[in-house]
């Protein structure tokens, strides 16, 4: 097997592979990417057994074959060499020659037979989703995905389709983010849990056009151009999120998003690592944000707002509020509140989404 490939294009396809491979694993082949040629296509594949990515590059190909090479070191070599073209020569089933510019490398690898068999997802029942919009929707909710491995059913986002709309929901038990848009074109599909890692890898993709979404009994496929991201469906029952969202918050406060976010961030400087909480004290036309720490001191800042619902105090995790405000693309944000024991619900003012909200549970301060 001999392959001549444009170095810049090759690097563009190698990049997303780095997030898939397992760097610390007891299974050595999972830190490798599979390079193979078949017909006129130069194929690349990476997997951690739960999330897999395949893609291909245009190349001049002579002969068929394949080898699995250590992903990080191979990427370092291709990034470091000079010249517009990279020449790859398979010297035997476990040794690959690399030539570019005046550089010559020979690296050891593994036989393609040692590489795991990748799952296949039938391409029937497809749903077409504009990629730019899907990527934006993921950014709206990904901060609320749980990182606690013990709560495995919350280690991803619920992706659902209904009435021509696509909906993404994520929660870690302390907050919940939901976004809905009328973007999907295709048959309706039952909601499925997409793992956190797959969401992060989709955020790394670059490209235009539509993502083709399909599912099988145990796997999901997101295809964009030559790239196909396949992930295992998370098992478990996602909470009945509509019941979580309070329907009787009767107080509203409207803020300049940037000013509020910066003020919360400043006051949060005097919160402790263990007790991450600021107090929000609402009164007519203003909000006082405060934090007190016996080891560090105190901080107070006043922010103007459109509010006339009577005095109200509530404790909030500043990181949760800050991440929600960062996810917004509007100049103003609206919060709906009730009392110190009831959740705070944030909404963009005049946002582009049909529905977007973030529920943040209160804290005792």
274/255 Cα distance (integer angstroms): 28
CATH 3.30.1330.40 fits 246-360, yes or no: no
- Better-scored residue on pLDDT, 149 or 8: 8
What are the φ and ψ backbone dihedral angles of 168, each rounded to 5 degrees? -125, 135
Residue at token pair 């549970």: 361
Tell which residue, 354, 356, 362, 287, has the closest CA to residue 324.
Answer: 356
The radius of gyration of the chain's CA atoms, rounded to the nearest angstrom, is 25
Question: In which band, very low, low, confident or very high, does the pLDDT at 35 lie, cut at 50, 70 and 90?
Answer: very high
The model's pLDDT over 279-290, given as tens digits with 9 standing for 90+, comes to: 999 999 999 999
How many other C-beta atoms are found inside a 10 Å radius of the C-beta of residue 199?
Answer: 22
Domain 127-242 belongs to what topology? DNA Polymerase III; Chain A, domain 2 (3.10.150)
Mean pLDDT of 296-305: 95
How far apart, in Å, are the Cα atoms of 174 and each of 143, 171, 255, 323?
A: 12, 7, 23, 13
Q: Identify the residue whose tokens are 């709309």.
A: 165
Question: Which pLDDT score, from 0 to 100, does residue 125 have?
Answer: 80
Is 206 or 278 the better-scoring residue by pLDDT? Answer: 278
The pLDDT assigned to 26 comes to 82
The whole-number pLDDT of residue 199 equals: 97
Per residue in 313-359, pLDDT tens? Answer: 999 999 999 999 999 999 999 999 999 999 999 999 987 778 999 99
What pLDDT does residue 208 have?
Answer: 87
Q: Which segments of the chain belong to CATH 3.10.150.10?
A: 2-114, 127-242, 246-360
Q: So what's the pLDDT on residue 107?
A: 95
- Those residues whose C-beta lies under 8 Å from the C-beta of residue 126, and which sit 6 or more positions away, are 186, 187, 212, 213, 214
Q: How many Å apart are CA 299 and CA 266, to the nearest integer? A: 8
Would you state the pLDDT for residue 38?
Answer: 80
* pLDDT tens digits for range 212-261: 999 999 999 999 999 999 999 999 889 999 988 999 999 999 999 999 99
pLDDT band (50, 70, 90) for residue 150: confident
pLDDT of amino acid 92: 86
* 2-114 placed in CATH 3.10.150.10: yes
Q: What is the pLDDT of residues 167-188, one digit of tens each?
A: 999 999 999 999 998 876 555 5
pLDDT tens-place string over residues 40-52: 789 999 999 999 9
Q: CB count, 10 Å around CB of 244?
A: 15
Model pLDDT, residue 321: 96
Q: Which residue, 142, 144, 136, is CA-closest to 166? A: 136
pLDDT number for residue 157? 96
Q: How confident is the model at residue 122 (pLDDT cuts 50, 70, 90)?
A: confident
């Amino acid at each position: 097997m001999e392959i001549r490939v444009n170095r810049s294009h090759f690097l563009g396809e190698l990049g997303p592979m780095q997030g898939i491979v397992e760097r610390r694993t007891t299974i050595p082949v999972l830190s490798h990417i599979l390079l193979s040629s078949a017909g006129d296509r130069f194929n690349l594949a990476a997997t951690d057994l739960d999330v897999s990515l395949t893609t291909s590059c245009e190349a001049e190909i002579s002969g068929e074959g394949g080898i699995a090479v250590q992903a990080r070191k191979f990427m370092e070599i291709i990034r470091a060499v000079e010249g517009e073209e990279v020449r790859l020569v398979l010297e035997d089933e476990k040794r690959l020659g690399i030539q570019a510019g005046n550089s010559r490398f020979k690296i050891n690898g593994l036989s393609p037979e040692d590489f795991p068999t990748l799952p296949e997802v039938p391409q029937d029942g497809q749903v077409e989703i504009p990629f730019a919009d899907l990527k934006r929707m993921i950014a709206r909710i990904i901060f609320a995905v749980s990182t606690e491995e013990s709560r495995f059913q919350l280690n991803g986002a619920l992706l659902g389709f209904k009435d021509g709309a696509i909906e993404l929901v994520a929660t870690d038990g302390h907050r919940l983010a939901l976004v809905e848009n009328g973007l999907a074109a295709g048959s309706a599909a039952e909601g499925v849990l997409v793992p956190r890692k797959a969401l992060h890898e989709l955020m790394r993709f670059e490209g235009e056009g539509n993502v083709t979404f399909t599912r099988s009994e145990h796997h999901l496929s997101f295809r964009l151009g030559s790239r196909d991201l396949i992930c295992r469906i998370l098992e478990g029952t996602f909470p009945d999120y509509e019941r979580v969202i309070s329907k009787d918050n009767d107080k509203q406060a409207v803020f300049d998003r940037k000013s509020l976010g910066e003020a919360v961030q400043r006051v949060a400087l005097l919160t402790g690592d263990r007790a991450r909480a600021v107090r929000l004290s609402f009164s007519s036309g203003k909000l006082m944000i405060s934090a007190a720490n016996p080891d560090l001191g105190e901080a107070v800042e006043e922010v103007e707002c459109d509010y006339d619902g009577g005095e109200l105090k509530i404790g909030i995790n500043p990181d949760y509020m800050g991440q929600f405000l960062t996810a917004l693309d509007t100049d103003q944000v609206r919060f709906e509140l009730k009392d110190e024991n009831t959740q705070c619900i944030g909404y963009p003012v005049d946002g582009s989404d049909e529905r977007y909200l973030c529920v943040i549970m209160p804290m005792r301060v």
